[in-house]
Structure 1
Amino acid sequence: MSSLNPKQIDAIGVSDLPERLQDIIRRRDTVLGPGYQFSETIPVEFVSGFGAHLIDRDGNDYLDAFNNVQGVGHAHRHVADAVSRQIATVNTDTRYPQEALVAYAERLLATFPAELSKLSLPCTGSEANDLAIRVARFHTGGEGIIVTRWAFHGRTREVASFSPMLGAGSPLGPNVRLISAPDPRLCAPGQSLENYMRDQVRAAILDLERHGYRLAALIADSAFTSDGIFTHPMGFMQAMVDEVHAAGGVHIADEVQSGFAQLGDSMWGFSRHGVVPDIVTMGKAIGNGFPISGVAFRPEVSDEFGRKVSYFNTLGGRSLSIAAASAVLDVFEQENVRERVAVNGATLLAGLETLTRDSPYVAEIRGSGLYLGVEIIKDRGTPEPDPIRCESIIKNLRDRRVLISRTGSAGNVLKVRPPVAFTAADVSRFLETFGIVAKQRL
């Protein structure tokens, strides 16, 4: 919701909210710039949180199965303490030697294949993808970019030019080509997904060349989130990457949403496909909501750029950002986060499959770990997307204080993407609540 006049505000039911919240919403609309939106149709004001829980002003406990920015948990004590100690000590940037910065880079890079051995630290996921494309262009001498048909990679002017999810009001660059998401249902009879995706990449490269663009990069979200969440079968990406390399381009794995063990079976989504990207971008969960992002490079891709171009980010590598990011890695080590995600994610998936098995409105459930999509359709006989039913399910869950969202080009895929702090008890609460809603709407 953004730029709402009083009639529009009343139309969505805000007039039924407490007077204090109405006042905040009206004042917000007066002072904030264009484009701001609420996560929910009817907004909720949260005043505290813990783990995967958000607490509103009246003390109501909402289960957060949507927001993986605070990946290791809202108000995680270890992260909060680390940031508090650092801000009371010093907060310098990457222009000064920092032991903590170097130690963090070593720890983070150790989670990647050895080929990815250089790290830059911007501030946001958008900035990370902006830098990745900039380096890719410098390294390849090309301009062409390949993305999936409903991809989202960020909101800077550059990155928005290859983020089709932003819609018609945000034009794509003439150097951008779209390919379909890796949906096995799109393959011709007898065609493997691997060959289907390879053929699309090959055709996109040829079309770019026909229009005078040499390939710079294929950039792909490792969970294909905005396209509707596609994580299986594993292994199809190598053929795509081979085509990109043959054309002189690089592969950028966008792990802003899918990274940090969100998919459960590995720290990074690209690992599931057996590929080693040339560049990997990170954001969101890297600092548990603190403003820091990351770009990991093969040195042969980034070193020449570093010798000839100065790159500096005021906030990304500051002492305070590093304290938050380092604390996140501590939590991963101390709490066996990846293993917990794998176990709880499997339970969540099995429960959703059981609850929707007989529903004529569920086409399929996709995903891995704590990153699942439930595709809602009008009827299995004629699988037309049903975004209205999808939105109704989200609202019904919200009314029962469980938060999820939706994704996909038609807005008909329930996006269940809780923080990796999600516990077994959280899974049980989610499935119990989802079961109640499913009886009404599915």
Structure 2
Amino acid sequence: MTAPRTSMINGFDVSRLASMPEHERKLIERRQALLGPSYRLFYEEPLHLVRGEGVWLYDHAGKAYLDAYNNVPCIGHCHPRVVEAIAEQAAVLNTHTRYLDEALLNYSERLLATFPDELSRVMYTCTGSEAVDLALRIACFVTGGTGIIITENAYHGVTRAAAEISPSLGENMPLGQHVLTIPAPDSYRGDGEDVGAAMARDVRAAIAFFRRRNIRPAAFIADSIFSTDGIFAEPAGFLKETLDAVHEAGAVYIADEVQPGFGRLGDGMWGFARQGIVPDIAVMGKPMGNGMPIAAAVMKPELQEEFGQKIRYFNTFGANHVSIAAASAVLSVIEEYRLIANAKLSGDALMAGMRTMQESDERIGDVRGAGLFVALEFVRDGETRTPDAALATNVVNEMRRRGVLISASGPHANVLKIRPPLPFSRDDAGHFLDVLSGVLADIPFRSPS
């Protein structure tokens, strides 16, 4: 097994700046001077995008790119219903939640209706990172604990608290002192082991580690599709025993729905529902407003009641009128256009096509996912399952050159991460598969040695 990487997956290498065309080079130089090195760009040849519509993005030269990666515009880029809702509300009123507002309450009722009855309170933020931060605050407050359990290559956000539980940010971002990692539920490399039982065992071991050191467990948090760990969805229901282990310890289960939520997995609105569980808190991010700054934490009322009675909470821009209008439009579009059902149909078509490719291409070790969240894992050798990050990087960048946008995932950067907007159709899936097939045909096989 190769060592995990520390650089950003699919990141532009600034040492290649001199080789870039003049237009892009000047933009990158200005960006470096103004924004600094923390801001990273995608692809060997960064994109200069100027327009989006539906599942398509367009660069400054007018070239079209099929977007099979961006989950934030979950109902498609620049959806007219969202654009109209934003413009109309911005022309009327935009302020905060310390005034009475019926639109906020109407949206909250609609949002909560998509959750199990046990989850009946919502608190708003601007970003998924803030929602994760808030969920951790609540979990630590109600349990009196500080111990947090995460998976080994998780990503949960960029606030300090969220970054401290995001090992995928790299070794230079230290984890919190009371944070423990456990292996992701890797069904491909599990050698037949029950991934649910294995994960629950690892959670219980982490809890025992905390207790031996007089650290009270506060929370287990997981992205419900394990997107940065390599995308793991099967078998449905494998998280039930983990939920039991968390509750046995008196800790809180936090479902991170920023990426899998809003119907992306094609089986209900929320990723955790596919697992047959009810978390204590679910967090969501900017897909709820199709990119507008709105996010939330939905939770069991007893948790919010205890926290809310003793700790005042306010977020100036969280649930502002314009963002609520956008979020309301998003819910309407998902429901009216049956985008959850579409996610399943299009996602099934994607996976079926890639599994057909797998039959004749030994470099494809595994195809997995749910709905419009699909992974294709490249390996150098099918028997040893040695990750092939170089091939994944090559495929991602060659597809970008041919007008299809994806990225990569996993601790070894060898997993294609395919996560298009929800209106992605079966025709779009067919185009995607044609391009992928052509790219793989043009990349020569190499010896596994």
Output the TM-score relative to the length of structure 2: 0.94
Match of 1:428 among 427, 430, 440: 430
Residue matched to 1:77: 80
Q: Which moved more, 1:124-133 or 1:357-366?
A: 357-366
Whether the 8 Å CA contact 2:187–2:232 is kept in 1: the answer is: no
Q: 1:240 aligns with which of 231, 239, 242?
A: 242
Aligned to 1:157: 160
Q: Is residue 278 from structure 1 mapped to residue 292 from structure 2 by the alignment? A: no
Give the structure 2 partner of residue 267 of structure 1. Answer: 269
Q: Per-residue deviation at 1:159?
A: 1.1
Shift of 1:425: 2.2
Shift of 1:193: 2.1
- Asked if structure 2 preserves the Cα contact closer than 8 Å seen for 1:62 and 1:401, the reply is yes
1:32 and 2:46 are equivalent in the alignment: no
Partner of 1:175 in structure 2?
Answer: 178
Cα separation, 2, equivalents of 1:174 and 1:188: 32
Equivalent residue runs for 1:343-354 within 5 Å:
343-354=345-356
Cα distance per residue 1:293-337 (max 9 Å; x no partner): 010010011111001111111112100110111110110121111
- Distance, in Å, in 2 between the alignment partners of 1:211 and 1:440 is 55
Task: Output the amino acid matched with 2:351.
Answer: L
What is the CA–CA distance in structure 2 between the aligned matches of 1:348 and 1:319, rounded to whole Å? 38
Q: Which runs of 5+ in 2 are unaligned?
A: 1-6, 8-12
Q: CA deviation at 1:186?
A: 5.1
Paired residues, number: 433
Q: Could you list the per-position Cα deviations for residues 60-94 of structure 1 after superposition, in whole angstroms to 9, with x for gaps in the alignment?
A: 11001011110100010000000000111100110
Match of 2:108, SS? helix
Matching residue of 1:314: 316
Contact 1:238 1:273 in 2 (8 A): yes
For the residues of structure 1 that align with 2:191 and 2:442, how far apart are their CA atoms? 36
| Superposition deviation, residue 236 in structure 1 | 1.4
Q: Which SS does the other structure have where 2:264 is aligned?
A: coil
Is 1:148 matched up with 2:151?
A: yes
Structure 1 range deviating more: 350-359 or 196-205: 350-359
CA distance in 2, matches of 1:430, 1:418: 11
Q: For residue 158 of structure 1, report the CA deviation from its aligned partner.
A: 1.0
Q: Deviations over 1:6-64 (max 9, x none)?
A: xx74x4255432x3332221111101134101122211111111111001111111001
Matched, 1:112 2:108: no
Deviation at 1:105, TM superposition (A): 0.4
| Deviations, residues 166-186 of structure 1 (Å, cap 9, x unaligned) | 111001112111111111355
Q: 1:439 and 1:38 mapped to 2: Cα distance?
A: 27
The residue type equivalent to 2:279 in the other structure is P
Please give the alpha-carbon distance, in whole angstroms, between the structure 2 residues aligned to 1:226 and 1:322: 29
TM-score where L is the length of structure 1: 0.95
Identity %: 46
Whether the 8 Å CA contact 2:188–2:366 is kept in 1: the answer is no
Q: Per the alignment, do residues 202 and 347 of structure 1 end up closer, same or farther by CA in structure 2, a change over 3 Å counting?
A: same
Partners of 1:210 and 1:186 in 2: how far apart? 30
CA contact (8 A) 2:143 2:218 kept: yes
Match of 1:21 among 9, 19, 24: 24
- Structure 1 residue 385 corresponds to structure 2 residue 376: no
Q: CA deviation at 1:234?
A: 1.0
Instruction: Give the superposed CA RMSD.
Output: 1.4
Q: What CA deviation, in whole Å up to 9, does each residue of 1:98-130 have, x standing for no partner?
A: 111000000000000000000011011110000
- What amino acid sits opposite 2:154 in the alignment? A
Cα distance in 2 for partners of 1:34, 1:432 equals 36
TM-superposed CA distance for 1:188, in Å, is 6.7
**Which of structure 1's runs of 4+ aligned residues deviate more than 6 A?**
none
Matched residues in 2 for 1:280 and 1:270: separation?
9
Which one-letter code corresponds to 2:16 in the other structure? I
Q: Secondary structure at the match of 1:121?
A: strand
Name the SS for the 1:184 alignment partner. coil
Q: Work out which of the residue numbers 181, 198, 212 in structure 1 matches 2:200.
A: 198
Mapped to 1, the partners of 2:419 and 2:184 lie a distance apart of 19
**Superposition deviation, residue 383 in structure 1:** 1.6
For 1:56 and 1:166, the matched residues in 2 are separated by 28
Name the structure 2 match of 1:254: 256
Is 1:49 the equivalent of 2:46? no
